[in-house]
Structure 1
Amino acid sequence: MQHWERVEGFVQVVRHGSFVAAARYLQVSSSHVSRLVSHLEQQLGTQLLYRSTRQIRLTEAGNVYYEACRQLFDGVRDAELLLQQHQGLPSGVLKITAPATFGDKYIAPLVNDFQLRYPQLKINMYFSNRQVEMIEEGFDLGIRMGVLRESTLVARRLCDRREYIVGSPDYLARIAPPQTLTDLERHNCLIGTRGYWLMQQNGQRKDINVHGNWQANSGPALLDAALKGLGLAQLPDYYVDEHLASGKLVAVLNEFQSAEMGVWVVYPQQRHLAPKVRLLVDFLVEQFKTGIAGLEF
């Protein structure tokens, strides 16, 4: 068993690209993973990895050993997945990532409902506006917004998302609402994570650089600033729909509103998809299809 643990530590270090990432995946300390690999090298009597402060790379012997061990581990994983599929029940840890506010508002309640169906699952949800590296960080599935960049991930569409330029009635009474994109130059534009706004002009996407005296990497903070009349903000529909309906916010430049963009559930491509992933993906797609308040489908 000790030998198997050492081999697994080595395989995960190579697969994830670092001791830290492998330790995160194995849920142990990086020093523990380092000891496992060192003991394995001592046991085999050969160096498997070249180590530096910035990277690791396989030795010639390490490459041969890794290929053999990788196939062994992949075979064991496939056997476990086949057994789970035969039994038809999800099991183990289900690790999920999503953008912060969208995750809090829509994904967490649905995942909680899912766990009520399958209480044997251990759920681990991580919400952040940082786009995580799913495979390297060991996530089973994630939620992505907008245009997907090319990747090996499988994607299924959940719903559409629209972006609005909004301001409070008080702010727009002080500074006349913009009629053209160039009018934004005389407005205080509240800036989020991006330093530009996504717009559409003549059917083409246009990224508009905006300027203002306020910036934060928090959607709720951006919404609060707009509601308090500090300036104009660009925010997605699930932030502003209720405030547009109540009149607390007013949408401007609607004719330049960015085209609808998708919200996607993504997951690593596998020959045998684990039941826990397959069932949750199907559950999320079905729940969004039946309709969730504030979102369009």
Structure 2
Amino acid sequence: METIKWVQGIIAFVKVSETGSFSQAAAELHVSKSHISKTIKQLEKDLGIALISRSTRRIQLTNLGEEFLGSCRQSLETLESAKKQVISSSDRPRGVLRVTLAGVFGENFIAPTLISLARKYPDLQVELDFESRIVDIIEKKFDVAIRIGHLKNSSLLAQKIATRREYVCASPKYLETHRAPASPEDLTDHNCLSGGQGSWSFKKSSKPLSVSVKGNFKTNNPRVLVKAALDGLGIVRLPGSYVWDDIKEGKLVSLLERYSEGTKDIWVVTPTRNKLNTNVNVFVEELKKSLERDYRGSQF
């Protein structure tokens, strides 16, 4: 079996084993399901053993397949490590840089830096994944993640790059017919527009305070929540990235500022294996410069 086809067979076999599906493996490898099937059949033919027991409902590795999977993973990890070593030894970004991020902060302040890097370094392949939920960056093979707030203890490397502040606000139109809340507890009498959260957190007398909120409009899209608030539907709680300009222009009114939790830290997080990765290091340095120039953390 030719070396290239041999490696392709191993990659296909590992991907099918990890996903438990020929279709899913094909989708993640950007090939057809029939291609995956043929590749693995050829691999089995060359090895002279059955690696996968197929059925209409699910796939299952044979005993020899399980043993072979361990060796394949180790081999692919060695190849990946060799690739990263070469990239890390280069003084110019090249190869793939995968970043997971979310929200308007990512759109307005992270993405432009990556676009600039892609333009400056044609050999760099940037992959952005906007995912609202926190993913395991090691399992999903991301090089960098942008995280907000308290970080759990882990083996990941974290660098603080900015801060974020959340605002409780409503439009003058809403406040014309509803008395502005004087304290967080007053929110129980208001139509609170949220992304599904059942409570909002504050600080009162330097102590944490959680207030249950309810309303007749929920969405996980912050931009839509802003539109609803501007239309006078109710009160929202959102990061400054979404509402600061409207507050500054008087379209929204900031409420309960004395009870604010204050700012939350924004972090760039990387696996420890990327400590010397040129792609990651250049990106982080360029990002810091960009944020220092363009980002107003005190308001956002």
Change (3 A) 1:76 1:191: same
RMSD over aligned Cα atoms: 3.0
| Larger mean Cα displacement after TM superposition, 93-102 or 235-244 | 93-102
Report the CA distance between 1:66 and its aligned residue: 2.4
For 2:175, give the aligned amino acid: L
What is aligned with 1:78?
Answer: 81
How many pairs were matched up? 296
After superposition, the Cα gap between the structure-2 partners of 1:38 and 1:266, relative to the gap in structure 1 and judged at 3 Å, is farther
Give the distance between the partners of 1:57 and 1:199, measured in 2 at CA: 51
SS of 1:161's partner is: strand
Whichever residue aligns with residue 259 of structure 2, its letter is F
Tell me which amino acid in the other structure corresponds to 1:287.
S
Contact conserved, 1:146 with 1:262, CA < 8 A, in 2?
yes
- Tell me the SS of whatever aligns to 1:166: strand
Distance 1:23 1:145, change over 3 A: farther
Q: How does 1:1-150 map to 2 (within 5 A)?
A: 1-14=4-17, 19=22, 22-23=25-26, 25-30=28-33, 32-49=35-52, 58-149=61-152
Deviation at 1:221, TM superposition (A): 0.9
Structure-2 change in CA distance of 1:48 and 1:209 (3 Å): farther
Deviation at residue 189 of structure 1 after TM alignment: 0.5
Distance of 2:76 and 2:49 partners within structure 1: 21
Gaps of 5+ in 2: none
SS of corresponding position for 1:270: helix
Corresponding position: 1:294 with 2:296: yes
Deviates more, 1:268-277 or 1:166-175: 268-277
CA distance in 1 between counterparts of 2:60 and 2:135 reads 23
Q: Which moved more, 1:184-193 or 1:83-92?
A: 83-92
Q: TM-score, normalised by structure 2?
A: 0.84
Matches within 5 A, 1:161-176: 161-176=164-179
1 CA distance for matches of 2:153 and 2:178? 42
2:84 partner letter: L
In structure 2, C-alpha distance between the alignment counterparts of 1:113 and 1:39, rounded to whole Å: 43
TM-score (norm 1): 0.84
Contact 1:82-1:272 at 8 Å conserved across structures: no
